[in-house]
Chains A and B, each alone.
Chain A
Amino acid sequence: MLAYNRQDFIRRMPEASHDLRRRRSFWRVVHLDPILLLLLLALTTFGLVVLYSASEGNSSLIKRQVVFFTIAYIGMFTVAQIRLDYFSRWSVLFYLGALGLLVLVLFFGVGAKGAQRWLSLGSIRFQPSEMMKLAMPIAIAAYLSNKSLPPRFKHVFWSLVLVAMPTVLIVKQPDLGTSILVAISGLVVLFYAGLRWRYILSAVVLLVASIWPMWHYVLHDYQRRRILTLFDPEADKLGAGWNIIQSKTAIGSGGVDGKGWLDGTQSHLDFLPESHTDFIIAVLAEEFGFMGVLGLIVLYLLIISRGLFIAINAQDSFRRLLAGSITLTFFVYVFVNIGMVSGLLPVVGVPLPLVSLGGTSLVTLMLGFGLLMGISTEPPRITHNR
């Protein structure tokens, strides 16, 4: 408990004039990062525009998404108000709570297509794996920030145990895509904590060595098919290859400036599957062309840059690691989704962050951005790690 008490000795410096100015600023009072907020608003608005087209102007669907956005923004705002110390202090509880729910999913989960991913509480359904996406980096960041960094073997080991437990549970659902993303959100913390290169190298070697047993013993048939489809979508034109052929056709036919909003034929004539969820970028690419894709990617890059900027300027290791992990995981989502829809990566169920239809992932992401905002707007303290 000594570690937590350390903050009691932090002395504030009210006499520093620039700090005074910043303290008075409106944004500091509301605990919002204006640049990040602006970028997020731009992205979510653009997302709604695309979603409107993808859903064939289904206004009830758009209304629902707007409700989700509202909830998500409120959640973000709320989280931003909470002092970061609380997260670090209660990290163990978050983690154990999320882990417990994941265990419950194995027994009481509901879902479709042979996967149990959801917990149902009355009318509310949610995915505990989504909660783990936040609980994991908080837990590991909290754990490691107490230790002297770079982490020693023992701490690396325990961190890996923390990563492994939920990952295995999610794989069991089965939901390979989410499990990898959850694992990444934890591993990124280790990396940012300064994980030694020799560990990283041996991990890479281990990973390569495990490809063969993974392929034969861990992956399900449909997962193997998806990966094979990546290399040769034409082999099963109407089956597994259909999605990817149609999305590539949608993207490619968009050309430089697209077919125009609401004029995408691939999406509007139902050739493109999952057009308002995972494959929504194909709709964007078809209707807004390469310029639209470029715009979207630039927007994502700006958000990520801002996240990394906040991380670098954060006040201590916990905040740094957390902010870094949230930001980098966000990029991974973006990369995996955009890559899979264009046929670069196998099709795993990863939505396009903040654009695809869907409540749970949206809320989780925005809560993550809430944490970033909190980190960015916390009153400065005299710390040793400046």
Chain B
Amino acid sequence: MQEHQHFKNYHIESRTFTGRVLLTSILILGLTAVLLYRYYSLQVINHEDYATQSDNNRILVQTISPQRGLIFDADGKLLADNRPSYILSLVPENIRNIDKTIELLRTLVTVNDSHVDDFYKSLKANRRPYQAIPLRFRLTEEEIAKIAVNEYRLDGVEVQAKLVRHYPAGALFAHSIGYVGKINDREWNNFDEEQIKRYQGVHTIGKIGLEKSYEDILFGEVGYRNVEVNARIRVLRTLEQQNPIQGKDLQLHIDSYLQQVAVDALGDRRGAVVAIDVETGGVLSIVSSPSYDPNLFVTGISHKNYNALRNSLDIPLFDRALQGRYPPASTVKPMMGLAGLSEKVISRSYKIFDPGYYQLENDNRLYRDWKRTGHGIVNVHKAIVQSSDTFFYDLAFRMGVDRIHNFGSQFGLGEKTGIDLPSERRGLWPSREWKKQTQRLPWFPGDTINLGIGQGYALATPLQLATMVTTIANRGKHLQPQVVKSVDGELLPPKIINQIETDDRYWDHIFKAMKDVMHASNGTARRAGSKSSYLMAGKTGTAQVVGIKQNEKYDSEALKERHRDHALFVGFAPLDNPKIAVSVIVENGESGSGTAAPIARKMFDAHLLHKKPTQQTTVKLASNILKYRSADSDSQSPLVELGPRSAD
């Protein structure tokens, strides 16, 4: 009310106002310039960075796993394939409470503690965000339906169809083909960048056998798919796709039929049988008994099953054919005889008297012959046919360890055979240097004498023995054994390791001796060789498991079953044009002639006499399977989703 006392100066008020407006105008322009510069800086100067960031936001690279190559036997029979299997998996990022979700799942489908343990282990392991972690494999139709019905309360739970490796023949090829299994932490940690990318969507890798040694070929090459995702990582569309290159198929030299014959022949005995195609070095059959079902390992073996396998006294997980090291015993005698002839230590007519033992001068020790009464007058032929130990004690002593070592090495003794299977052991064909290095002891003459009959330090795997006898059958052409015949139809050529040069007449002589082992009336394996429509050659062996003390009588009855001698046999057939060479070891089989040789005879018969489908049908069969597969391998197939489906 008293405001009228102060006179308003309208002119000044207006001028002040205009001045202030001008001031604010400058402020406005200044601040606008700041804004514009800010946007200029974001949109023009740093555009590239933000464009990249924006793409990184929305573009996810998914790997598309190739389909693993199939494995066929020599006749085109499928030995390893990929079958769709329904997997229950969880995407942890989409689950609020993982424990509760698992509890809920347990009320719907069978989920046991080991499944849950494995799940949490995978959860902790190396993984990409939003990648599904499997909880249960091999869901039944009923279980899939139950999950589908309850989908609304199972956020982050998904059922995926995935191809899972399957081995139709089960235990028959457990050691040779091996199996694929879940990649473990140690394997993940040892992977390089490339491998991590490769295995992201697969979870499995070849663990043993061909699956391991041919991993790269069977695997193929991963493809990639750039997908656009939203902020919740839901895949909206595929931007770019590079298809995977499918794994290559393997065809083996192995003949399922022969393999089955070997397994049947071994029965429930522990042992190994290796059969090699003499012409190519191809492995026709490789058996280690007992075996196990490799399918157990593919999706992760249960603790119970694994412990049962691991704790079994028969050690089924152990591959006797490649890793079992046995004294080769008398099976080395043909090779030793050949060595003596070709080193001119003996001649074909060289004879000694065998009193049943051998003794060095100035030494009390008796080196006993297996036949206490001795074999009388023996030459090299008779020594092989009747397996005279005394003759070979004498021969070994006269030849000396160095020449024995060198000659034997040419047959692959003491060396890895180079077979295309992993984890092969090298055996032992001793030398002076070896003993000095490992035992810090000089070589004694007694060592040489024991070596002459394949005892003492000598150790060989069944595969090495098979390689040795193949080399004999090939008259010195030492081939590298190979399991795989062809990769995607492309034949792998035979590999010659070396050629042993010696007089042909010596080979003939050894062949004849080995033939007489099988066919002569005094041959050690005459029973195994009887009534055959073809001629075969062989040599029995009996390896001591427990050393027999001097003057102690060998009494097999008293020994526990597992202390009995190992029965061995090597041989090939037919004599004139050898096709198949075989080595057999039966653990605690006691007698090479009684136990091992009949198994080899069955192998010979099966390979040489059994009528198989002709080569033509074989090819047709294989191509049919291939056609079936290529129809299935289409990534658009509704049945099988390849690669990770990490997001939805």
Contacts and interface: CB of A to CB of B under 8 A. Distances in A.
Contact of B8 (A149, A253, A265, A269): A149
A324 B14 CA distance: 12
B35 A192 contact: no
Given A147-B3, A266-B54, A251 B39 contact: yes
A380 interface: no
Interface string A47-88: 000000000000000000000000000000000000000000
Interface in B157-205: none
A194 B21 contact: no
A149 B51 CA distance: 54
Contacts of B127: none
Contact of B46 (A1, A246, A252): A252
Contacts of B40: 290
B24 interface: yes
A297 B57 contact: no
Contact of A293 (B11, B31, B34, B43): B43
Contact of B6 (A147, A191, A253): A147
A2 B1 contact: yes
Given A194-B13, A255-B43, A342 B38 contact: yes
B39 A194 contact: no
A126 interface: no
Given A148-B6, A271-B230, A339-B35, A324 B21 contact: yes
B627 interface: no
Contact of B44 (A3, A193, A271, A290): A290
Interface in A262-288: 265-266, 269-271, 285
A225 interface: no
B3 to A, nearest CB: 5
B57 A266 contact: yes
Given A2-B1, A150-B16, A385 B35 contact: no
Contacts of B24: 191-192, 308, 324, 328
Interface string B1-34: 1011011111111101110110011001001101
Given A192-B21, A312-B18, A270 B232 contact: yes
A31 interface: no
Interface residues of B, number: 47
B36 interface: yes
A252 B53 CA distance: 9
A321 B14 CA distance: 10
B42 interface: yes
A192 B6 CA distance: 19
B36 A253 contact: no
Contact of A256 (B16, B44, B58): B44
B32 A342 contact: no
Interface in A299-332: 301, 304-305, 308, 311-312, 316-317, 320-321, 324, 328, 331
A148 B228 CA distance: 66
Given A251-B43, A254-B43, A335-B31, A194 B20 contact: yes
Contacts, number: 160
Contacts of B229: 269
Contacts of A324: 17, 20-21, 24
A137 interface: no
Contact of B42 (A3, A251, A311): A251
Interface string B566-590: 0000000000000000000000000
A383 interface: yes
Contact of A250 (B4, B38, B54): B54
B38 A339 contact: yes
A289 interface: yes
B50 interface: yes
A271 B34 CA distance: 26
A5 to B, nearest CB: 10
B609 interface: no
Of A246, A269, A320, the most chain B CB neighbours within 10 A belong to: A269
A271 B231 contact: yes
13 contacts: A148-B7, A148-B8, A192-B17, A248-B42, A249-B54, A255-B51, A256-B43, A269-B228, A269-B236, A271-B57, A297-B32, A297-B35, A312-B17
Interface of A: 1-3, 146-150, 191-194, 246, 248-256, 265-266, 269-271, 285, 289-290, 293-294, 297, 301, 304-305, 308, 311-312, 316-317, 320-321, 324, 328, 331, 335, 338-339, 342-344, 383-386
Given A253-B54, A331-B31, 15 more contacts: A147-B6, A192-B17, A192-B20, A192-B21, A251-B43, A255-B43, A265-B54, A265-B57, A269-B231, A270-B232, A293-B36, A312-B17, A312-B21, A335-B35, A339-B34
